Chain A
Amino acid sequence: MIEILSTTALATVQDVGRFGSLGYGVGTSGAMDHLALALGNLLLGNPEDAAALEIPMFAFEVRFTQDCAFAVTGAACEATLDGQPLPPYWVAQAREGQVLSLGYPTSGSRAYLCLAGGVDVPSVLGSRSTQLRGEFGGLHGRALQQGDRIAALRPGVSTLPTDFGVVSPSQALPLQRDGLPAMRVLPAAEYDCFLEDSRAAFWAGEWKVTTQSNRYGYRLEGAPILPKAPMEIRSHGIVPGVIQVPHGGQPIIQMRDAQPSGGYPKFGTVIEADLWRLGQAPIGSKVRFIECSYAEAIAALEDNQCYLAEVSRLVDLHGLASR
């Protein structure tokens, strides 16, 4: 059990996401950085579908009201447990009464606090993720508040090893172009309806993550993407990663809390394997995009899976060696 001490807004309970309900108008939700969540769960020996706290604003502070193993992953923030520094992507054992503080990140933008066994909230439509728009899932369907108490499914002193870490995804799976974090993009249905110059400028340019960026979507700022002719499209299904271009030509990338339909023309889609990179791009930072093929997008997903499988193997070995 932990108690939220800070008043920092917008922290939510998230797992891998809620799938299979798009037809009812229910978006997927889920962690903005899937890899950070998966690694936190691996470090703790949790099931893949265990939920954690996603923390987008700092400083963030919780008190452990009972012994509990935990892992902090995602953004590299100055983390301390009762004043003792905690490295990034690290699993540790907390004792009753200890206070975990997460300071402002030096890289990345979202931290994940994973608890042994996962966060104990009811599963709704197959997921523990907070669905903010529908006000269900997570803890009472809302962001966490000061004084909230959150239980872990496997509290106590862990029988698995703690006090070790893993190399972060941004080190293990680096992707940059000209010194900026990059994401691979598949051209989408209306790609060919945009001016050739605009298309070239999209791949060549730098894109700033504006302050109008959150779990619903990222609004980017850069050279306007202009259509060959005005487009009017009926609303259709969209998923996280889709890059829409409204009038004015400044793109919006749908993120995990995106609504499941929209009518803006679709320029492209940030591939599933790279959405975590965007999820960790801080507001005000710049990113670039790399055109990729469907086969490359599938291969990128496999790279992510290989990395997780390798970490899982090493964590298991470490568990055997520590016995």
Chain B
Amino acid sequence: MTNQEIRQLAVWLKENHLAGAELRRPGMHLVLKRSSDAVAVVVPQPVKAADKPLLKTPGLGRLLLTHPDQTEALVAVGSQVAQGQLVAFLQIGDLLLPVRSQQAGRVAAVLTPCGTTVGYGEAFMRLDAA
């Protein structure tokens, strides 16, 4: 994990009013705590723009919209997407993790080009609600 990624995590913590985060991986233990005392208020954010749901990346990695062994993208603008459908891959080294749509809808826009390195929670696709 790079310093830049840790800084990004800190920004997300602040934006989401979270008190801290702890990450454990073999060979790594990261604890982030916000020094500000205005914390620990878990206010559910009002669900806005529910008619234009955004699909967000589930973690750090390289976002692939097309499988490296295939030529066609998993979904394209205009495709109908079911809940749980595979819409992208997150490549971490030689590993490919599935990115599935949390909801049904029609792909309105692809916001991130194939092969972009993404962080956690980045919006990469916008759906029109089904």
Let me know if B98 and A164 touch, CB within 8 A. yes
- Number of A residues with CB within 8 Å of any CB on chain B: 26
Among A76, A107, A165, A320, the residue within 8 A (CB) of B96 is A165
Q: How far is the CB of A166 from chain B (nearest CB, A)?
A: 5
Q: How far is the CB of A316 from chain B (nearest CB, A)?
A: 9
Residue from B68, B69, B70, B97 having most chain A Cβ neighbours under 10 A:
B69
A315 CB-CB contact with B under 8 Å = yes
Let me know if B97 and A314 touch, CB within 8 A. no
Let me know if A171 and B68 touch, CB within 8 A. yes
Query: How distant is the Cα of A170 from the Cα of B94 in the complex, in angstroms?
Result: 12
| Given contacts A87-B89, A317-B25, A317-B26, A106 and B70 within 8 Å (CB-CB) | yes
- A307 partner residues in chain B, CB cutoff 8 A: 94
Q: What are the interface flags for A134-177 relative to B under an 8 Å C-beta threshold, 1 for contact and 0 otherwise?
A: 00000000000000000000000000000111111011100000
- B98 partner residues in chain A, CB cutoff 8 A: 163-165
| Given contacts A87-B86, A87-B89, A318 and B68 within 8 Å (CB-CB) | no
Query: How distant is the Cα of A171 from the Cα of B67 in the complex, in angstroms?
Result: 11
B95 CB-CB contact with A under 8 Å = yes
Q: How far is the CB of A193 from chain B (nearest CB, A)?
A: 41
| Given contacts A317-B25, A317-B26, A321-B25, A88 and B94 within 8 Å (CB-CB) | no
Among A88, A106, A163, A314, the residue within 8 A (CB) of B93 is A314
B112 CB-CB contact with A under 8 Å = no
A237 CB-CB contact with B under 8 Å = no
Let me know if B69 and A88 touch, CB within 8 A. yes
Q: What are the interface flags for B91-104 relative to A under an 8 Å C-beta threshold, 1 for contact and 0 otherwise?
A: 11111111000000
- A321 partner residues in chain B, CB cutoff 8 A: 25
Let me know if B86 and A85 touch, CB within 8 A. yes
Let me know if A166 and B96 touch, CB within 8 A. yes
Let me know if B95 and A171 touch, CB within 8 A. no
Q: Which residue of B lies closest to A320 (CB)?
A: B26
Let me know if B95 and A318 touch, CB within 8 A. yes
- A107 partner residues in chain B, CB cutoff 8 A: 69
Can you name 6 A-B residue pairings with CB atoms under 8 Å? A88-B69, A165-B96, A167-B94, A171-B69, A311-B94, A314-B94
